Amino acid sequence: MLVHTEGESNTSEARKAWLKTSIGPNSAPLLERDADAFLHQSLSSPCVSTIAKAEGLWIEDLDGRRYMDFHGNSVHHLGYGHPKLVAAIKQQLDDLPFAPRRFTNEPAVELAEKLAAITPGDLGKTLFTTGGSDANEVALKIARAATGRFKTLSFWDAFHGAGFGAASVGGEATFRSHIAGPLLPGTEHVAPFSPSNCAYGHKSLEASAEACARMIDYVLGRDGDYCAFIAEAMRAVPNVPPPGFWKSVREICDKHGVLLILDEIPTGLGKTGQMFSFQHDGIVPDIVTLGKSLGGGILPIAACVARRDLDVCGDFAIGHYTHEKNPVTARAALTTLQIIEEEGLVERSADLGRHALERLRDALGQVPIVGDIRGRGLMFGVEIVADRQTMTPGIAVAERIYYACLEAGLSYKISQGSVLTLSPPLTISKLDLDRALDIVIAAVKAAA
């Protein structure tokens, strides 16, 4: 899928124009079959093009059109088809292709030990799942069991997965609005701090974050039923927390005896220029969840990593996933972590991210339709607005910019209706990064 535009309808005019003018004769029949075979939903089906090849930074459709992929569903930290990863998976298929859940194996244990080694503090006990949504639900079960309480607090607009529990603590309307009946009880929400300076009526990001922290303190102090505060360490839209915010939240959670669960599924493993995004803020959560890029952009695997003293669920089931200790997915994750370390991809992300933000700010900082340019590492975004004074989202303009970039050979996603969200692989060359930035800069200036 080339387009993932939060807020864009499957029947938007920009999308219709793209399908009419830009889909080749080899792609059109498969798109029709796809629309007929799959359940339809926003942000996914029907699709807008096909993929025949994926290698490194590039994806290619059935008609030979190539695109730099600055989206990748946040799985392609290593790019697509990293040769060392492919070789390791092939070898593991020959050595041991599967393990029933109650029989352990070397790759699974080694991966759990590796995650304990790279996470800070006492984060040392792991359970693997096949997706991030399940990893977050495991974290919630642990929090309930460890505290004897059931309520959670989280942010509106957050995304933690599509399962009932994950959608309940999440706050994105598209995953909640059409579910008949109640979601998980006790899942309370507060408004997040806002880079658009609108949350809580404050005029700066710092003031908005301070008010947000005070609201978290207030809500958690209202009664004693909260087991956890769950949030994304940095929203992948992207929203960068101001300095001191997470330290305040850590102190608030400790004050009320509430566990802090941080969702690093899109931002972990080097994407933001640290191995984990929360390390920018000098704190350690009680539980961290990982996924997406953990499987190297090839296989699905996620993990819930908890403090050792939270290993309190031994007498009942909190997961029991068929592929809980799959040796092939574990080998993929282990090799992914090895490649990240051996190729210095965390440091590379930090360096290239600084370069990208400097270029975008220099070129677009004074463009009237650009409200904000923000990010960390190789996860950064350009917010398109209709009015810089009111910060009204420029949704229609952002869509036009997107399709102009797609026509020029660059794919990314639009977040929150109007944020051009750019998230390339950590392996991208500086030359390709600059080529992509040239496309974005030209499209934004043309739209302005």
89-143 tens-digit pLDDT: 999 999 999 999 889 999 999 999 999 999 999 999 999 999 999 999 999 999 9
Domain end point (choices 312, 342, 372): 342
211 and 92 in a common domain: yes
SS (H, E, C) 3-62: CEECCCCCCCHHHHHHHHHHCCCCHHHHHHHHHHHCCCECCCECCCCCCCEEEECEEECC
Q: How many CB atoms neighbour CB 298 within 10 A?
A: 21
Is 47 in the same domain as 101? no
Domains: count for the chain? 2
Q: Decide which of 280, 307, 342 is a domain's last residue.
A: 342
Kindly report, residue by residue over 232-249, the tens digit of the pLDDT. 999 999 999 999 999 999
Range of the domain at 72: 4-80+345-447
CATH number at residue 293: 3.40.640.10
State which of 342, 360, 390 marks the end of a domain. Answer: 342
353 and 251 share a domain? Answer: no
pLDDT at 10 over 90: no
Same domain, yes or no, for 104 and 210?
yes
Do 61 and 132 lie in one domain? The reply is no
**In terms of domains, do 205 and 320 share one?**
yes
Q: Which residue has the higher pLDDT, 365 or 320?
A: 365
Burial of 447 (C-beta count, 10 Å sphere; 0-12/13-18/19+): middle
User: Which token pair is 404?
Assistant: 């102009």
What's the pLDDT score for residue 160?
A: 96
Q: What is the mean pLDDT of residues 359-371?
A: 96
CATH (domain of 8): 3.90.1150.10
Beta strand 4-5 with 413-415 is: parallel
Of the candidates 14, 10, 13, the residue with the CA atom closest to the CA atom of residue 31: 10
Same domain membership, residue 336 and residue 300: yes
| Residue 308 Cα to chain centre, angstroms | 26
The verdict on 130 and 264 lying in the same domain is yes
* β-bridge partners, 370: 384
The pLDDT value recorded for residue 203 is 67
* Same-domain pairing of 298 and 354: no
Helices marked H in 257-370: 327-342, 345-364
Same domain? 213 vs 299 = yes
* Alpha helices, DSSP H, located in 50-147: 83-95, 106-118, 132-147
